[in-house]
Amino acid sequence: MTLPRHRQDLNIAMSGPREALRAASGKRSDIVLQLAIEIAVVGEDDQPLEGVAVALRRDDDMESTGFTGRDGIARFEPLEFKRKWRFCLYRRDKDAWELVETGKVGSGSEAGRTETEWKEISTADTRGPKTHTVKPGECIESIAFLYGFFPEALWQDEGNRKLRELREDPNILFEGDTVQIPALRQKEEAAAIGKRYTVKTKGVPSKFRVNLVIDGKAMANTKYTLEVEKLPDPYQGTTGPNGEIDHWVPPDATQVVLRIDGHELIFMMGMIDPVTTRQGVIQRLLNLGYLGDDSVEDPDFDEELQGALCDFQESQDLTPTGKPDDATRRALVDACGG
């Protein structure tokens, strides 16, 4: 470094990548260059994701692994400037995440630090394939989240062709069904010291969508509270003009409690039966408000069911027959989002 004609006092902490230095004459400059790399992980809702497994790998095929903090960031430091670096989300398939932004590392105060202990790169999380037996409440989204896959990629995998033919809807599986889990395919992105890399996961979180109808009328512009399992705070909002509610929820959440206009509705995520079954039709009419929670116990339930189907069919501009024909079943699936 060459000093200008008038002597300067430079306080330089060489802890980061080499950069061109420019200083004003007669002023003291404090320059801190950080030997750190940060990986920030967000979901499809652009909110930070905590607890995502991240690996930073160097050019001698050694790696340091850690997890994102509450702010969705994993920070690796101190690092050797002379090496080449790359990173991956080693417990997620290559189709389940993508790099969306590159920027500068933060000060370190906002990021969860990861102890950079180095070990040989492990392939333990890439072994497969496996067979998963479906348990009550599970669907392709929750199973894909469990194994680190993008839901559509898992559903369309050739190993699940027979399951697709059998069930047709990835959100409605039967207990005892088997899902073939292929080997996890890793991908890596190049990294440089002093940079923060923001990646977005695909298929996380999931969407909770309902349209609320009572006595054939949409519950429009009505305030509600939505409590979601695995989330610390409830959602609060107002229904849309068609009674719609639309929120992001964890893929492995099994229960959602909706409080609206003096009513409490409990949704058991993944517990709904196929619309091709009588129970599946009843469950969707209950969710949409065409049937009351206690109507199933009524001795005249069959008449109530027929009336509820007529009301629903009229709301969908279908002929009110009171029978669950193919057009009615399709409309029920569309109205319930599955």
**Does residue 22 lie in a domain region?**
no
CATH number at 66 reads 2.60.40
Number of domains in the chain: 3
284 with 220, same domain?
A: yes
**Residue entry with tokens 């929120």:** 247
Share of the chain above pLDDT 70, in %: 81
Q: What is the CATH number of the domain that holds 141?
A: 3.10.350.10
Residues 158 and 193 in one domain: no
Q: Are residues 118 and 134 in the same domain?
A: no
Instruction: Answer whether residue 162 is part of any domain.
Output: yes
According to DSSP, the residues that pair with 66 across neighbouring strands are: 54
On whether both 148 and 57 belong to a single domain, the answer is no
- Enter the tokens of residue 114: 């990861």
Other CB atoms within a 10 A radius of the CB of residue 238 amount to: 11
Do 148 and 288 lie in a common domain? Answer: no
The span from the CA of 208 to the CA of 47, in Å, is 16
* Mean of pLDDT values over 108-130: 68
Write the pLDDT tens digit of every residue in 290-333: 887 666 656 668 888 888 889 888 888 888 898 888 898 888 87
Tens of pLDDT, residues 239-294: 999 889 988 888 888 788 999 988 888 877 666 677 778 888 888 888 777 887 66
Q: Could you please report the per-residue DSSP string of 260-282?
A: ETTEEEEEETT-PPPTTSHHHHH
Do 212 and 321 share a domain, yes or no?
yes
177 and 250 inside one domain: no
Residues 56 and 102 in one domain: yes
Q: Do 311 and 235 share a domain, yes or no?
A: yes
Residue numbers of the domain that contains 161: 128-181
Model pLDDT for residues 4-28, shown as the tens digit of each residue: 333 333 333 334 444 444 545 555 5
- Percent of the chain past pLDDT 90, that is, above it, reads 40
84 in any annotated domain:
yes
Lowest mean pLDDT among 43-47, 112-116, 220-224: 112-116
Q: How far is CA 315 from CA 87, 147, 216, 278, in A?
A: 52, 40, 7, 20
242 with 302, same domain?
yes
332 in the same domain as 245: yes
Q: Is 29 a domain residue? A: no
